[in-house]
Amino acid sequence: MRIGYKKRNLNINLILGIVWLILGLLSLIFSGENRWYDYRYLVFGILYMILYFYQKRNKYLTIENGILKINGSFGKKINLTEIKRIKKFAGDYILKTDKKELTINTQIIDPKSLAELNTELGKLNVEWN
């Protein structure tokens, strides 16, 4: 099961990428001489576009084979069978095991996907706070 981002978050990254790319192209076209720092807008635009496509393709969370994984640059994993407690705090879910703690930001999850996540976490026989 894949839990996706809100469309708003994806669209913001896409718009920022396009704006930075346009600024970069305009600065290269209209500046008299090209200096190394004139390319910073293009770099920001490319990074935002990479972020957009990565988030659109890989989604926020993946639940497979009893493992919940946050897809990101430092993707964290937690085994669902090891979860002892789930705490709701400030709109986030904090999943706790004996050794680990994993925070899920529900503010950026698509509402349909959030319902799926809630049913999946509801299946676990753990303490909710």
Distance CA 4, CA 111 (A): 9
Residues 82-114: tens digit of each pLDDT: 999 999 998 899 999 999 999 999 999 999 999
pLDDT mean values, one per 10 residues, the chain (129 residues): 95 97 91 81 96 95 93 87 92 92 93 92 87
pLDDT for residue 93: 94
pLDDT for residue 29: 87
Which of 20, 37, 58 terminates a domain? The answer is: 58
- Same domain membership, residue 35 and residue 52: yes
- Same domain membership, residue 8 and residue 39: yes
- Same domain membership, residue 73 and residue 35: no
β-pair type (127-128, 85-89): parallel
User: Are 86 and 129 spatial neighbours (Cβ–Cβ below 8 Å)?
Assistant: yes
pLDDT for residue 108: 94
Residue 47: give the domain boundaries.
2-58
Task: Please state the domain count of the chain.
Answer: 2
pLDDT for residue 8: 96
pLDDT for residue 128: 87
Residue 113 vs residues 103, 104, 119: alpha-carbon distances, Å: 17, 13, 10
Which of 35, 58, 81 terminates a domain? The answer is: 58
pLDDT for residue 101: 92
Q: What is the CATH number of the domain that holds 110?
A: 3.10.50
**What pTM, to 2 d.p., does this model score?**
0.84
pLDDT for residue 38: 80
pLDDT for residue 16: 98
- Same domain membership, residue 124 and residue 67: yes
